[in-house]
Amino acid sequence: MNRRFGPLVTAAAVALAAGCSEGPITGPITHLPRELTASETHLVATSNDFAVRLFREIARQENPGSNLFVSPLSVGMALGMTYNGAAGTTAQAMQGTLGFAGMSLEEINRSYRGVIDLLRGLDPRVDFTLANSIWYRQGFSFEQPFLDTSRVYFDAVVRGLDFASPDAAPTINGWVNDQTHGKITSIVPDPIPSDIVMYLINAVYFKGDWVVQFDKSRTAPAPFTLADQSTTTVPMMSFRAPAEVRAGGELFPGLGGSGTLLLDLRYGGGAYSMTIVMPRDPAAMDSLVAGLTLQQWDAWVASLDSTKAFVSLPKFKLEYKLKLNSVLAAMGMGVAFTPCPAVPDCADFTRMRSVRDLFISEVMHKTYVNVNEEGTEAAAATSVGMAPASAPPSLVIERPFLFAIRERLSGAILFMGRIMNPAAT
């Protein structure tokens, strides 16, 4: 796998959206079925800003030479559900991180509902799934308005499970596996940790064919320049003939070209695309990502224009996973990960549970992408694990031990023993 193109595709994924269901299409999709409301427009803008900031922070914390692939849509929606349960300074921190400033909770939820409905079914030639769910430990009480909000505005499956049952984790992971068409097979550990009382999960699946497909017979090994100027060999896909694409930036004229190449390749009915940003200097990727802003991204997209060109693109497949706790803390919501009463300013999820004892234990993110001659298949899942600060400790007798059978009132020891190997008879 090349070391530089993963981040480019990840940046392109910021712009990916999708539709679902199969059916005939009469022509290119050039507009939404309805105009976005002012609140929906604001939510999309703030979500894109979160996407850029999230990707930038992940790139800062990860190995500079590693591939990255994330779904900001999935992370943002899972945290959007969680935000409904936050209060006080925790809500303020999440609001700042997610970019919700200036929006009421009602506006945020209605906008999420509207955007979910628009994305589903937008392009009949693109297969798209966007699903949410909440799974909570039976016997642990949560605020009913919080659960109802998740059902109504996020179209979430809400279900209580016996987390101690051996079927609990397979049930949750089975749901994720189904929603991502088998590309993300698991997102929660099996067995479920004893301190986890809730998972809030988002799943996204995308599969779209290129409007102009690559010719499989022309796919061949080709050199790819790495950040250190060395080269590796990758399977390179190519068009059979020049085709209509959208491009921008510095198109590398002659040998002295410099700057950035922009390329936009469309899927399905043309509503959705992969947008690629490639600096001329292979070593410039770190600085490009470090300086990436929503304004820069919007400027790149605005500069795209139609042209005819031959296109070559590496064929690749990538699976990626990342625990996002440190990333989100660095983005300003560290309080959400701080159990009470560790410090005075600790997590407050009293809109989720009346007792102030919950904090986010873990935000886990997994993705999959396969880019080939026909198109692109991508999937993502994000889980937010909630734990109570007052959870009982886990006591696991997993080493040799001494034991006694005794009469408790008198203290008389009836039997004593030592177990070195419980499996031995």
Q: What is the pLDDT of residues 109-143, one digit of tens each?
A: 999 999 999 988 889 999 999 999 999 999 999 99
Average pLDDT over residues 208-226: 94
pLDDT band at 258 (very low <50, low <70, confident <90, very high): low
160 token code pair: 């209580």
In whole angstroms, what is the distance from residue 76 CA to residue 50 CA? 8
Measured CA to CA, the distance from residue 147 to residue 166 in angstroms comes to 25
Per-residue pLDDT tens for 61-105? Answer: 998 888 999 999 999 999 999 999 999 999 999 999 999 999 999
Euclidean distance between CA atoms 304 and 12, whole angstroms: 13
Share of the chain residues as helix, strand and coil, in percent rounded to the nearest 5: 30, 30, 40
- Superfamily of domain 5-210+316-388 in CATH is Antithrombin, subunit I, domain 2 (3.30.497.10)
Return mean pLDDT, the chain: 87
Distance CA 193, CA 137 (A): 11
Position 421 pLDDT exceeds 90: no
| CA dist., res. 298 & res. 64, Å (int) | 24
By mean pLDDT, which of 105-114, 229-238, 325-334 is the weakest? Answer: 229-238
> What percent of the chain is modeled with pLDDT above 90?
70
- Report the Cα–Cα distance between both ends of the chain, in Å, rounded: 51
pLDDT at position 392 is 55
